[in-house]
Structures are given as C-alpha cells and as structure tokens.
Amino acid sequence: MLKKIGFSLLILLIVVVMVRFFNNGHNQSNDNNSDIAQDEETEQTDPGDNSIDVNKVFALSEQGKVPDVPFIAGKTAKREVNEKWGEPGKTTNLENKKYVNYPERRIDFGFQNDIVFDVRSFANKLQAIHFGDIKKAKGEPDEVRYYKDDSHDQIILVYDVGSSYQLKWILPKPTDDNPNPKTDHISVVSQFTEQDEEEASNADMVEEMSLDEKIGQMIFAGTSEETLTANTKKLIHGDKVGGIIFYKENLKSPKQSVKLLNQIKKVNENSRLPLFLGIDQEGGRISRLPGDLVDIPTNEKIGQINNEQFSYKIGSVLGEQLNSFGFNLDFAPVLDVNSNPDNPIIGDRSFGNNPEVVGNLGVQTMKGIQSQHIISVVKHFPGHGDTSVDSHLQLPKVNKSLAELKSLELKPFAYAIKNGADVVMIAHILLPKIDSEYPATMSKKIITDMLRKQLNFNGVVITDDMTMKAITNNFDIGRASVKSVKAGSDIILVAHDYNKVVSVFDSLKSAVENGELTEERIDKSVSRIIDLKRKYNLTNEKVNAVDINELNQLIENALNMMP
C-alpha cells in the first residue's frame, strides 16, 4: 500500500514539474513574441495592415520616409541600417553611389558617402494605389520622367514634398489598354544630396572635356542634306556639335527620315554626350514631319477652343510624333501674344491676343510635349507678337518699356518658367527702350537681367537661328555669337550653312583663347546643357519604322476631344 502511495506521489510530482516547465516556456515564448512585436512596431508605420492610403505615403515622404521603414533619407547612416537589418543582399556600385537590396523586406537603399539618400519600397500594399489615385490626391506632378528598357516601359511621377525631399511614383506607362496602372514602387529621395551629386557629376564631366568639346555642345547646327554627308560627319566629329536641327528639306519621307536620324546617332555613339535632335513641330502650318499625317490644328484654333485638356492632348500627340521619328526636342510651343494684326511671322502660330489664354494653353502644350519625354523649347522671348516685320528678312523693333512688356508679352513666359520650362528661345528683336544697341539675342539686359534675374529662369537659353537676316544683315555672325554668349545664351542656333557653323565655332574658341570669354563662363552653359540631356536621359538608341496609321489614330483621338 505504501509503495502504491509513494508511486502515485512520484507520478504527481513529475506532472507538476512538467506543467511548470511548460508554462515557463510558454511565458518565455510570449515574452519573446512581445519583444519581436515591439521591435516590429518601431519599424512599421501600420503593422499588419495590407493596404496604404496615398495621402499617408505623401505625409511620410515629407519626413524622408516610406511605409514600414524606420530609416530617413538624407539622415540615416549605413552603419545604422546594417545594425538593425543586417547585411544587405545584392549591392550595385554606380559612380560614387551604392545601391543595396533587402529582398525579404522589398526595400532598396541608395547610399552616398555612407548616408541613405534614396529609399525605395516595392511593398505589395503599394500596388493598391493606381495612377489615377495619385493624380486625384495631389494633382499634376512637378515633373514627369520616363524609363524604358527590354523589360520596362515606365512613367515616373515626381512630386516635390516638403523642402528637402522628392517622392517618385514609378508605374507602368499608361496605355489605351491600361490607362490606370497600379504602382510598381516608390522612391523617397533627399533632394539636397541628389542635387549635390548631380552637380558634382556634371562638374566632373565638364572638367574632363576639352575646350572644343565644350564649345561644340553650345552649338545647335543645321544641315540641308537628305542623307548622311561628309559635312554632317564633320559637324559631329570635328566641331563636336551638341545638337542638330532638321527642316522639310531634310525630311522627304518617314522611311528616309528615320534612316537619316539613325545614321546620325550611329556616327555620334562614341561621343561623350548624345545629340539634341530637334525640329519645329508646332502644328498648323509649321509642321516639318513628312508623310501623310493628319493636320494638327493651329494654335489660333486651339486658342479659340480654349480648353486646357485639349491643349495638353495636342502637346502629347506632338511628343509622340517626335518620338516615333527619333527626335528628342521640339521647338514648340509659341508663347507670343498676337497683339499686332500686321505681324507677318506669328499670326495663327499664336494662341491669341490674351496673355492669360496664351500662357495657360501654352503651358499645357508644353507639359503635353514633356509628358512624352520630349524637350520643349518655348519661344520667342521676350515676345514676337507685336512686330511688323519678319526677322528672317529684317531686324524687328518693339518700342515698349519693361512695364509694358510685363503687362502683356512676358506673362506667358513667366507662367511657363513657374511651370517647369526647360529651354527658352530668344528672339531677334530690338527693344530700344530696354537696349538701344543690341537685339534680344545679344542683350545682357534682356537675357541676364530680365530672363535670368527677374523671371528666375535657370534652364537653358538658346538663340533663334543666327543665320536669319535680322542678324547677318547687321552683324558678323561669329562676333554676334560671342556677344550672345557674353549676354547669357547657352546655345547658339546656326540652322543653315556649314561654313557659318564653323565660323561660330572658331569665333567662340578664339574668344576664350584671347580672354574675351572665360572658360568658367563656358563651363556654366555646358553644365546646364549636360543637366538637360541627363534629365531627359537622351541616348543614341535607334528607332524602328514609323507607323503613320498609328500616329494618325492618335491625332484623330485628340481631335475627337474638341468641344
């Protein structure tokens, strides 16, 4: 009997010990889980939530953050990331930037000088946010970019958030089949760091360039041939020009045009920078592209309709046309206010005689062009609308004061600059009340004082064609070009005559060598040009045959939007 009791007590004791051991282990496990949950809560903005509101993403980006990540762009050190998240997976080095990947967290970081400057999230929850949601929440982005390779065709919506950051939404490029794509990923970038890096990179490239290369980048040349000639090759290899403009005389058919542009890109492929390839494709009577393209309405007609959405759509069609042929720059839109009925050169190229209408519609056309990753050149500053002679034939005069210009001609340009104009073309116009000696293209008072300082334009300034008689009848083209650069121009447009291109190149080079122009002044312009080419990611990539029917369908779709 005692043996049975003793055995029972032993069994009971074993059970008690096992229960206590299990409870301790369970409690310890709970404590550990609690610690893990607490750690996760410090790292996640919405733990356990499988969706995210677009406005919350914007709010976090103003602090340099993305959802579910505790690190801050522009502030967090690489050491802190490694301590908290461990060593990354794949590492990619790009110049003096380093990108690392944490695949299990679906996060990438960009490091510069061992500081996070770019935080990218590929979180699944972001895919619940679509193209339309972003636009609805915050309106039009501050900038639109594009990226395309063998496996991606993406649009990048860039919003300036706070004073220090950019939020980039990266999505598949909208199409007719998928007009409202879902987000692929987002990126929060410290603007200050990225800007410093771009400036440093530009400075490095400028420093590496020869004087010939720098001056060449400041020349936008024209050629009259339909085929690739020895002179065109000399422009690229000898004079190292930064851009080429094309006219109807160069472009006889879609097939010939694409072949010519592809050949030019091939010749340039070993150059340090891609070429600007530009054309005047305004719509209306100024339409240079060949083929049986449906006519695009004149700006005058668009001004009469006065619908911003329609103007934007026309701009995007112009951009798509240029993309199809292989161009990357459009000398459009015209922002001249057509205030003089006797004007022989602007007329129906203007959106009208109301500066507010011209500004609003012009900016929408500009944005439409830019939306297709085509550089838009607004023209003709400070306003060609009140002239009574054609600057192709004579030097026009506009007898207006600065106050008068501000009340009319300058309004559309000021609005375009505030809305992201990249390039401004200067007109061959003499304004005696501003500068009695030199036309706008050669006037420091107009380019530097008015455009740069008063209107705060920091982009690229290009002249109108310096072979026009407004210049050649009154000035030596080489000396005029030097004067233009001294006044503040970045690019000299020499649209005709190979010998005139050579003359301008030689004059600019001589001016630097004899001390009339400093190389520092040249470097400022070249840096702006490099920045613009990089912003639009210009390449020497060839294009395929143009589908005229597809382009015409785009035009018809746009015309169907007419109120």
Of 392, 449, 523, 531, the active-site residue reads 392
Cα separation, 50 vs 71, whole angstroms: 20
Cα separation, 196 vs 436, whole angstroms: 40
* Other CB atoms within 10 A of residue 563 CB: 7
Extract the tokens encoding 257: 């045009």
The answer to whether the CB of 520 falls within 8 A of the CB of 492 is: no
C-alpha distances in Å from residue 68, one per residue of 41, 122, 303, 473, 511: 9, 11, 48, 66, 57
Extract the tokens encoding 224: 């009259």
**Nearest-5° angle of CA 362, CA 365, CA 368?**
150
Query: Which residues, other chains included, contact 543 with Cβ-Cβ below 8 Å and sequence gap of 6+?
Result: 258, 261, 262, 323, 324, 325, 326
Cα separation, 457 vs 382, whole angstroms: 13
Q: For residue 392, indicate whether it is catalytic.
A: yes
| Strand positions, DSSP E, 122-164 | 143-148, 153-161
Q: Is the dihedral of CA 15, 21, 22, 27 positive or negative?
A: positive
Unique residue bearing structure tokens 């209408």: 357
Of 330, 386, 464, 465, the active-site residue reads 464
Cα separation, 105 vs 85, whole angstroms: 10
Helices in 168-282 by DSSP H: which ranges?
191-208, 211-217, 230-237, 254-268
C-alpha distances in Å from residue 337, one per residue of 265, 358, 359, 470: 37, 7, 9, 21
Cα separation, 481 vs 475, whole angstroms: 10
Extract the tokens encoding 496: 């005709």
Query: Which residues, other chains included, contact 559 with Cβ-Cβ below 8 Å and sequence gap of 6+?
Result: 294, 297
Unique residue bearing structure tokens 């668009």: 302
Query: Which residues, other chains included, contact 494 with Cβ-Cβ below 8 Å and sequence gap of 6+?
Result: 219, 220, 221, 222, 465, 466, 467, 477, 481, 500, 501, 504
What 8-state DSSP symbol labels residue 164?
T
Beta-bridged to residue 441, according to DSSP, are none
The answer to whether the CB of 328 falls within 8 A of the CB of 268 is: no
Q: For residue 464, indicate whether it is catalytic.
A: yes
What 8-state DSSP symbol labels residue 475?
S
Cα separation, 53 vs 221, whole angstroms: 50
* Other CB atoms within 10 A of residue 198 CB: 15
Cα separation, 211 vs 218, whole angstroms: 11
C-alpha distances in Å from residue 355, one per residue of 68, 164, 194, 382, 385: 48, 34, 36, 13, 11
Helix (H) or strand (E) holding 55: helix 54-61
The catalytic residue positions are 392, 464
